[in-house]
Amino acid sequence: MTKIILSLFINFSVFSSMLHSDDIEKNDADSIVFMYHRFGETTHPSTNIRLEQFERHLNHLQKNNFIVWPLSKIVRHILEGEHIPQKTVALTMDDAYVSIYTKAYPMLKKKKFPFTVFVNTLPIDNASKNYMTWSQMLEMQSNGAEFANHSLSHNFLLPIDDESEYEWKKRLKHEIEGSQRRLQKELGSSTNENPKLFSYPFGEYSLQTAEFIQGMGYVGVTQTSGPISAQSDTRTLPRFPMSEAFADMDGFSLKLNALALPMASASPLEPLTALNNPPTLTIKLNHPIKKMRCYLGNGEKLLLNWISETEVNIHAKDPLHAPRDRYTCTAPREANKWYWYSHLWIVK
């Protein structure tokens, strides 16, 4: 898996001399947000991170003077147009598994690092042994944790077969408002209010879903990799997923050095690919960028058709496989930095 991660990047030493001054962005204060699920639960490797891996992550952040903020603080700064310091990082966890409390929390508390947990509240209310309790969350809240909305049941939020638009919207409202009520009743009325954050279950959303979430007053958070910049779409903020296969220090360090690809636009915004598979992604850059490469989630190289120095069509050779995939584009920059953009596709 490490080879797949590293295949997304070209050797910086080969190309650093080719970069021109017009490739350099004036503002490098892009934030890196990491997403975790389980800690030390090796029976779930796709969502777990080993404790020694997580400890190395935290030590690296501390040793190299990274600024760790709760995600809400980063989002507030973006919404209010305030400056975010360089080397700002957020640590987030989805689903509120009990290993967050038993394994990750003591390590984070020791470092005095804040963190953000997205909670699907129904398993908490059902007293599932795999999830934290409200009292545990209250304890964590007094030691750097904040809690945000991940729906009631963690069900898929895209429309299901034979579901009318009215029924779909009613279901979404129930899932989101129901979870928010439970968070605020158990953890305090100010919980997840400034701003309201919502993490899409399974990282899946449609453009219609994202617009509905925004209309309810929420900032949408995805599982699609990439840095957050002042220009990021607050309906679909990216995070870098961390699991056993992708959490070695080489991959972690590379992601810490990522910068948002300077784009004027990406089209289509709609991630659903029911009709056109493989889909074509069109990116318009703010200025020419050297040596951009794009890959599928499995590391397979994508085809790039440059329309001009700043506009490119990107597509795969073969149809994408369900349930989802992504196009990830990177390009080298100076000082071991990398431009990064990832685009979600949901294959139905």
pLDDT of residue 52: 97
β-strands 311-315, 303-306: how paired? antiparallel
Residue in the block written with tokens 């640590």: 91
First to last CA, the chain: 26
- Joined tokens for residue 185: 């009743």
Token output for 12: 């910086």
* Helix pair 51-63, 249-256: axis angle to 10 deg: 40
CATH of domain 265-346: 2.60.40.10
Which positions ≥6 away from 111 have C-beta within 8 Å?
58, 61, 62, 68
Please state, for a pLDDT cut of 70, what percent of the chain lies above it.
Answer: 92
**Confidence class for position 276, pLDDT limits 50, 70, 90:** confident
Q: In which residue ranges of the chain is CATH 2.60.40.10 found?
A: 265-346
Q: Structure pTM?
A: 0.90
Backbone angles phi, psi at 293, to 5 degrees: -130, 150
Q: What is the DSSP letter of 17?
A: G
What is the predicted pLDDT for the residue at 196? 98
pLDDT at 28 over 90: no
DSSP class of residue 66?
A: P
- Tokens 């910068």 found at: 259
Hey, what are 263's tokens? 């784009």
With respect to CATH, is domain 26-258 assigned 3.20.20.370? yes
- List, for residues 89-123, the tens digit of each pLDDT value: 999 999 999 999 999 999 999 999 999 999 999 99
Which residues neighbour 158 within 8 Å (Cβ) at sequence distance 6 or greater? 204, 205, 206, 209, 272, 346
CATH 3.20.20.370, the chain: domain bounds: 26-258
Tens of pLDDT, residue by residue over 132-142, are 999 999 999 99
Percent of the chain with pLDDT over 90: 87
Indicate if the pLDDT at residue 35 is higher than 50: yes
Amino acid at 227: P
Tell which residue, 208, 223, 348, has the closest CA to residue 274. 348
Work out the number of other CB atoms within 10 angstroms of the CB of residue 181: 12
Average pLDDT taken over every residue of the chain: 91
pLDDT exceeds 50 at position 13: no
